[in-house]
């Protein structure tokens, strides 16, 4: 027969830590600590004063008006002391609250900037995806325009095999190859670009479709470009330079000038900022 011996193990009862309790009740603000010490010393001084000069028995027999005047004078010092301490504490609390508000405002401003930057990045990513498809579309339009003016159906400057090779280059990802072909023909004095771009109804249709597509791309870029980096890269690309020429040579429409970054003004502002540093 197995015998079980049960032993009761009692957990040690928590002992009151007098030092910890005093530490928890003792105020942490040094000004309150000083005020408490001064108040205690003042009460001791009053007790000694009453005992030596009046006597506790005689003090308790004082008339009400005399005792009231004595207590009023005795506690006036403590009232003034705690009033000053309260004002200092209030100023400290207000300063802490102001600092906390400043930190919160700074944090909110950083959050707002982060949200704006995230939104701008998302819009730029969307733009680059649309831009890639639009640039290929503009490249195809430029290819048809080039064939209409320079291919076998045009003036025959390029053979069908040469046109096929350029199309292969376009298919490999070079969406601006046709625009560069137009730009590399030579100066406007030697080449009649007005005839190449608007000489027939088909060429005019292709050129106008190109201008419309590129203009929509420019408008989309303005919505996600805060410093005109994307805008300038579009304008100075092969598509952008050909678009400028198409807009200038349109027979019936006077297009407004596309505003780009003024390099001289930018360099002047950069020089001024460097001098200020």
Give me the pLDDT at residue 10, please: 46
CA distance 260 to 237: 13
Classify burial at 258, counting beta carbons within 10 Å of its beta carbon; exposed 0-12, middle 13-18, buried 19 or more: middle
pLDDT in tens, 100-159: 999 999 999 999 888 988 888 888 899 999 999 999 999 999 999 999 988 888 888 899
The whole-number pLDDT of residue 16 equals 46
pLDDT at 2: 39
Tell me the per-residue pLDDT of 153-202, one tens digit each, with 9 for 90 and over: 888 889 999 999 999 999 999 999 999 999 998 766 678 889 999 999 99
What pTM, to 2 d.p., does this model score? 0.61
pLDDT digits (tens, 9 = 90+) for 20-59: 444 556 667 788 888 899 999 999 988 888 888 878 878 7
Please say if the pLDDT value at position 251 is more than 80.
yes
CA distance 134 to 213: 7
- φ and ψ at residue 75, rounded to 5 degrees: -95, -5
Q: Report how far residue 196's alpha carbon sits from residue 192's, in angstroms, rounded to the nearest whole number.
A: 6
The helix-helix angle for 64-150 and 30-49 (nearest 10°) equals 180
């Amino acid at each position: 027969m197995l015998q079980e011996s049960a032993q009761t193990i009692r957990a040690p009862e928590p002992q009151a830590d007098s030092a910890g309790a005093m530490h928890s009740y003792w105020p942490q603000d040094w000004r309150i600590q000083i005020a408490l010490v001064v108040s205690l010393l003042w009460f001791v001084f009053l007790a000694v004063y009453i005992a030596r000069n009046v006597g506790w028995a005689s003090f308790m027999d004082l008339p009400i008006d005399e005792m009231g005047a004595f207590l009023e004078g005795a506690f006036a010092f403590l009232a003034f002391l705690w009033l000053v301490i309260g004002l200092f504490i209030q100023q400290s609390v207000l300063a802490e609250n102001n600092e906390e508000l400043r930190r919160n405002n700074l944090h909110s401003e950083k959050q707002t900037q982060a949200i704006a930057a995230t939104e701008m990045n998302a819009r730029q990513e969307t733009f680059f995806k649309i831009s890639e498809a639009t640039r290929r579309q503009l490249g195809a339009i430029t290819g048809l325009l080039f064939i209409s003016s320079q291919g076998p159906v045009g003036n025959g400057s390029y053979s069908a095999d040469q046109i096929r090779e350029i199309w292969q280059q376009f298919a490999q990802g070079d969406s601006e190859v046709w625009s560069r072909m137009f730009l590399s023909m030579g100066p406007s004095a030697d080449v009649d670009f007005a005839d190449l771009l608007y000489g027939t109804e088909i060429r005019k249709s292709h050129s106008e479709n190109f201008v419309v597509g590129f203009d929509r791309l420019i408008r989309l870029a303005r919505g996600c470009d805060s410093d005109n980096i994307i805008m300038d890269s579009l304008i100075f690309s092969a598509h952008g330079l050909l678009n400028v020429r198409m807009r200038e040579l349109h027979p019936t429409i006077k297009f407004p000038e596309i505003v780009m970054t003024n390099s001289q003004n930018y360099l002047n502002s950069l020089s001024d900022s460097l001098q200020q540093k």
